[in-house]
Amino acid sequence: MGPVTLGVSIAVPEPYGSFLQGKRAGFGDLAAHGIPTHITLLPPTEVGAEDLPAVEAHLADVAASSRPFPLRLEGTGTFRPLSPVVYVKVAEGEAGCAALQARVRAASGPCARELAFPYHPHVTVAHGIAEEAMDRAQADLKDFSATWTIGGFALYQQGADAVWRLEREYPFGPRTAGVPRQADLSRPSAPAS
């Protein structure tokens, strides 16, 4: 078995996820429909397929010892000129996201890796498109706001077609042996702008 490309993220719940994905596509970002709307915890990372069980066990342990926390998205920002990205800001819950991603990427675990830039939780709404479209994305979503409670995260795998597909969800809280859990990983609590 060859390598697979994995990512771990917090899904942006409905109706916000589809709204922001539609906006991203509308700005001309061709990758929009292949990338679920999310906050990254582990960026695209190549691992051997034989290492997948260890990754899944590690993520289950991280989720089991985590607790829900509130998250609020509000306004926009950009990484330009360092990186051609416009994003919706994480206005509340940044510390929770940072702590979670540090545990996912722990040096002692199977997802250990260095980052190209310091971790900054955000929701990408435009990437690598024309400057005018990036400016429009930043202006168009400047009043966007959404609030919900983070109840878990998910593992995604990138296919040969560059589309990211959900592999497994990891709800927060202790696991009970032999009892499967269904979790509401993200519960919206306010309407989107």
* Cβ neighbourhood burial of 191 (10 Å; 0-12, 13-18, 19+): exposed
Q: What is the 3-state secondary structure (H, E, C) of 52-110?
A: HHHHHHHHHHHHHCCCCEEEEEEEEEECCCCCCEEEEEEEECHHHHHHHHHHHCCCCCC
Q: Considering the entire predicted model, what is its pTM?
A: 0.88
**71, β-bridge pairs:** 148
CA distance 149 to 172: 11
Residues 89-112: tens digit of each pLDDT: 999 999 999 999 999 999 999 999
In whole numbers, what is the pLDDT of the chain averaged over residues? 91
> Has residue 192 got a pLDDT over 60?
no
Who has greater pLDDT, 71 or 187? 71
Confidence of residue 174 (pLDDT cuts 50, 70, 90): confident
The DSSP letter of residue 12 is: P
CA distance 119 to 131: 24
Confidence of residue 176 (pLDDT cuts 50, 70, 90): low
Give the sheet arrangement for strand 85-92, strand by strand.
Answer: 122-127, 85-92, 69-78, 145-150, 186-188
> Has residue 179 got a pLDDT over 60?
no
> Has residue 185 got a pLDDT over 70?
no
Average pLDDT over residues 56-69: 96
Q: What whole-number percentage of the chain has pLDDT above 70?
A: 90
The DSSP letter of residue 37 is: S
